[in-house]
Structure 1
């Protein structure tokens, strides 16, 4: 089964007060480059949505074999990224894993395990160890059209609500599925945690 990984990286990072959360260093490299490298290690095709070029985020992916998709209307919110990413899927793709780029604890093993566990027709949603729903989420091909029709900044929430009977939660280690870092304070707190 072909599952592509769609990394959403076109947002404004507005809560960082001038910084860019996706260029914050994690493991010696910008978070976005790290997430793309992790996704590539699964062997799945990788698509990254980005603000219009030229942009520093695009530059950190320059040497990587990922599809870089510009999102001209990125200011609209997450739906614009999802629409652009889904339209870039290769025909025959059976599922798409949607992964917000600002989740530094989701690693290659998490992505690979989910892809392996996914069954055609279901929505497989990452969850924290305690069962709290989070990311990433794998959507089957029959929902691509709905994902392409999204608008606003709610991401794919309405699709999840509409098809909740098809969702299977997939626990990932610790808080991998729910740790997203949007502010300088959240980054500071996360970095201060013991390994």
Structure 2
């Protein structure tokens, strides 16, 4: 089963008034935690593609051994990052989309989702906690065209809504790992808690 990881790291951080991905939790930038978790999944992915606009993030992607593509049009919405990532990906069974502002994701969680996809290769795999969906999400290759046709700030959720029969929710007891750093309050909490592995 071949899956490409696509790490989306080109968000505008509108609610933070700065590039949140370059803010630090402990001794690492926020985005470095997801890089580390994905890298630690040795042999899980055919390729890892980072989509970013910041040169430091792109440089770190290269140093980590990941492929990367620069998003010069992140202001046009999340769909641009999705399209660039899918375009860069190869002929694979699926695409696993990560957001770079989730520093708590663990290797075992990634592997649990990949195992679910291996057992259900025609399903969109979504982590779920308390009936709330999260990221990362795995889309089978058959959805490539729909992903490439996204526009504006329409992310994968629009495809998920249209394909409710083709979903598989993978349940988790805690939503800790799926927490995004979207506000200064989120960031302050993360700094106090630090990142637990």
1:116 CA displacement: 1.5
CA separation of 1:170 and 1:58: change in aligned 2, threshold 3 A: same
Give the count of matched residue pairs.
Answer: 190
Partner of 2:40: 41
Distance 1:70 1:104 in 2: 21
1:148 paired residue number: 148
Distance in 2 (alpha carbons) for counterparts of 1:61 and 1:144: 24
Give the match for residue 179 of structure 2: 179
Cα 1:67–1:25 change in 2 (3 A) is same
Secondary structure of the 1:11 match is coil
Structure 1 residues 121-132: aligned runs within 5 Å: 121-128=122-129, 130-132=130-132
Alignment RMSD = 1.8
| Unpaired runs of at least 5, structure 2 | none
The answer to whether the Cα contact below 8 Å between 2:33 and 2:104 also exists between their aligned partners in 1 is no
- Alignment correspondent of 1:63: 63
- The CA distance in 2 between the partners of 1:167 and 1:152, in whole Å, is 23
Would you say 1:86 and 2:72 are equivalent positions? no
1:7 match: secondary structure: strand
Q: Distance in 2 between matches of 1:39 and 1:100?
A: 12
> 1:165: Cα distance to partner?
0.9
Looking at structure 2, the residues matched to 13 and 90 of structure 1 have their Cα atoms a distance apart, in angstroms, of 29
Give 1:192 shift: 3.0
| Cα deviations by residue, 1:16-36 (Å, 9 ceiling, x for unpaired) | 123x22122235221212211
* Secondary structure in structure 1 of the residue aligned to 2:64: coil
Q: CA deviation at 1:56?
A: 2.4
1:28 corresponds to 2:30: no
Compute the displacement of 1:171 (Å): 1.9
Match of 2:10 in 1: 10
Residue 120 (structure 1) aligned with residue 108 (structure 2): no
Matched, 1:97 2:99: no
- Map of 1:107 onto structure 2: 106
Distance 2:103 2:59 in 1: 19
Runs (4+) of structure 1 exceeding 2 A deviation are: 24-28, 59-62, 189-195
How far, CA to CA, are the matches of 2:178 and 2:102 in structure 1? Answer: 8
Secondary structure of residue in 2 paired with 1:84? helix
| Partners of 2:7 and 2:48 within 8 A in 1 | yes
Equivalent position SS for 1:15:
coil
Per-residue deviation, 1:166:
0.8
- Taking structure 1 as the reference length, what is the TM-score of the superposition? 0.89
Q: Tell me how far apart the structure 2 counterparts of residues 107 and 79 of structure 1 sit (CA, whole Å).
A: 26
The Cα shift of 1:177 comes to: 5.3
